[in-house]
Amino acid sequence: MRRASILPRVMLGARAASLTLMAALSLSCDKSITQTETLTPLEAVSTDASAGRWRMIVLTSPTQVPVPAPSAITSPAYVAELAAIKAAQETITPVQRERVAYWSGGGVLRWNQILRGLVARYNLPPAPRADGSYVFPDVNNPFGDPAFPFANPPYAARAYSYVAVAQYEALKAAWAYKYQYNRPAPARSDTGIRRLMPISDLPSYPSEDAVISGVTVAMLQALFPAAVEEITRRGADQREAALLAGKASSSDVAAGLALGRAVATLVLARASADGTGAAIGTPALWAALADSARARGETPWRSLETPVRPPMLPNFGRVQSWNLTATDVVAIRPPAPFPTASAQMLTEVAEVKRTVNGLTRAQRAIAEKWNDGAGTYTPPGHWNDIAAEYIRDARFSEVRAARAFALLNMAMHDASVACWEAKYTYFNPRPSQLDPSIRTDIGLPNFPAYPSGHSTFSAAAADVLGSLFPSAASQFTAMADEAGMSRLYGGIHYLNDIKEGKAHGLRVAAFTRRFAESDSAR
């Protein structure tokens, strides 16, 4: 009897064991993850031979920086350069092959990925000190605590735009000289040189890879000085890859590097005078902003952080834009938000509360998808992420890819300037300030609510991307609308912030589109 009754129980145990084992085994042994946005070797649909005549942005002309004529391909010096490439290819190491593969997807796209990583790495606010005060990041002490920079959304928007514009300027200059000197790529001059990357009939002097590395390394060293070592190493890898691939000779690389660096110097001169240095403001300014709101009969924004943190970059609205004048910025400013004591505002606050209290899982997912808060590549980085796959799939030449990123990021920098100008004009409180019972589903940004930065950035980005990729325009608009609404779901914006932010972003983008329509690149 006893044995008979035990058997089914043992079987029950066995079933439980097998169930447990199955669950364990379903955790497959391979935990490696596949990253999206992989780059395939770039075979551009066009070399864009006329790009040397496209409209410049910072430089006065594509040949503002002189590039001396190269030696003839029959010269002993050049023949020696070709022999050196062959010798290097003979002894190429697996690590070098990986680097060639890494850079073969296009330097503009690859550096954009690297830049997004740098922004995410440095997008952390300063920690409070024991006495409750905050120290601002110091460019002269980039490795300190806090590290420099705090790559918050305005800083990031500006950084993305400066890198993209500098690359675009340098490549247009490179294209002008390429078609002036018409020196073929080494692998085209000498059939003994293997092609380890796709090599088009684009002239190779100066090397576009070296131009990109020279200009980008110089820009990034200024924007992210604590990452100088990694940035410098990657730049050297890119130039070596072009050489090993049979794409550029050492004189192509040397001329490209010099041109890239010289263009960066010119662009950095603009950056150093664009007003960013004063964007943080002073305690007197912060107090004046609140006083001004009170004088208008409004409840002024205040930081809800503990300890209270100074507002983020209150003077960023005075930073130089790319395609708007300071007068334009004021002229397109959104109308004033609902007065904080008005019935409409009460309705808006109630709507936020109703939304967060009844939040669905799908709405939470949208809030998290577009959160792009501290420690991430920011909303402008998110739009670069979106753009990168379209640019890759369009197989743009390096100079056209640089144009696409330049247009996108000029629009987002301008959106950032215009949005911050409006935010600090109105100094409007966040929902949790007007109703402390509103709990947020994402981090609460430490700056005024109206208008929504996400909505402004996203509308501007979607509009410019839609002009570059018209067949996807409606998708970009849908994404931008979702990004805007994500802020209501997160409990950090009123619906009116989102609505007016979107309209504002479209007004900003119109300035970039006007530039793009007359730059001879269409």
Partner 1 sequence: MRVCGVTRPGGRRGTGWSRVLVRVAGLVLLLTAAAPRVHAQSMDDAIFMDRRVLCAGLFYTREQWSDYWEGTLKRDNGNIGTLTTTQASWMGAYGVTDRINILASLPYVWTKASQGVLAGQQGAQDLSLGIKVRAFSTPLTTHGTLHGIAVLSATAPTSDYTVDFFPLSIGSASRRATARGLLSFQGRNGVYVNGSASYTRRGNVTLDRVAYFTNNQLFLTNEVQMPDVSDYALTLGYQRTGLVVPIVFTRQTTRGGADIRRQDMPFVSNRMNFTRVDGRVQYVIPKLKAVTVHVGASHVLRGRNVGQSTTVMGGLLLAGKL
Binding site for partner 1 (CB under 8 A): 6, 9-10, 12-13, 16-17, 19-21, 23-27, 31-37, 113, 116-117, 120-121, 124-128, 145-147, 304-307, 356, 361, 364-366, 368-372, 374-377, 381-382, 385, 432, 438-444, 491
- Smallest distance from the beta carbon of 510 to partner 1, in angstroms? 28
- Smallest distance from the beta carbon of 102 to partner 1, in angstroms? 14
Which CB, 23 or 295, lies closer to partner 1? 23
Give the sign of the dihedral formed by CA 53, CA 57, CA 60, CA 66: negative
Q: Which two tokens stand for residue 477?
A: 């608009």
CA distance 69 to 43: 27
- Answer whether 445's CB lies under 8 Å from 492's CB: yes
Which CB, 389 or 481, lies closer to partner 1? 389
Which residue's entry shows tokens 């994402």?
A: 442
Which CB, 323 or 486, lies closer to partner 1? 486
Number of Cβ within 10 Å of residue 341's Cβ equals 11
- Smallest distance from the beta carbon of 283 to partner 1, in angstroms? 20
- Smallest distance from the beta carbon of 323 to partner 1, in angstroms? 28
Strands (DSSP E) found in 334-426: none
Which CB, 317 or 381, lies closer to partner 1? 381
Residues in contact with 229: Cβ distance below 8 Å, sequence separation at least 6, in sequence order: none
CA distance 371 to 73: 54
Please, what's the b/e burial string for 431-444 (b: 16 or more CB within 10 A of its CB; e: otherwise)?
Answer: bbbbeeebebbbeb
Which CB, 249 or 458, lies closer to partner 1? 458
**CA-to-CA dists, residue 146 to 223, 316, 335, angstroms:** 15, 20, 37
- Smallest distance from the beta carbon of 434 to partner 1, in angstroms? 12
**CA geometry: angle 144, 149, 151, nearest 5 deg:** 140
* Residue 414: φ, ψ to 5°: -65, -35
Which CB, 372 or 497, lies closer to partner 1? 372
Q: Which two tokens stand for residue 171?
A: 């490549």
Residues in contact with 252: Cβ distance below 8 Å, sequence separation at least 6, in sequence order: 70, 183, 186, 204, 205, 206, 207, 210, 242
* Residue 57: φ, ψ to 5°: -115, -50
Which CB, 1 or 10, lies closer to partner 1? 10
- Smallest distance from the beta carbon of 479 to partner 1, in angstroms? 11
Which CB, 440 or 512, lies closer to partner 1? 440
**CA-to-CA dists, residue 297 to 290, 349, 483, angstroms:** 11, 18, 32
- Answer whether 343's CB lies under 8 Å from 417's CB: no
- Smallest distance from the beta carbon of 166 to partner 1, in angstroms? 21
Which CB, 21 or 288, lies closer to partner 1? 21
Which CB, 467 or 486, lies closer to partner 1? 486
- Smallest distance from the beta carbon of 136 to partner 1, in angstroms? 13
- Smallest distance from the beta carbon of 307 to partner 1, in angstroms? 6
- Smallest distance from the beta carbon of 518 to partner 1, in angstroms? 34
Is there a cis peptide before residue 137, judged by omega within 30 degrees of 0? Answer: no
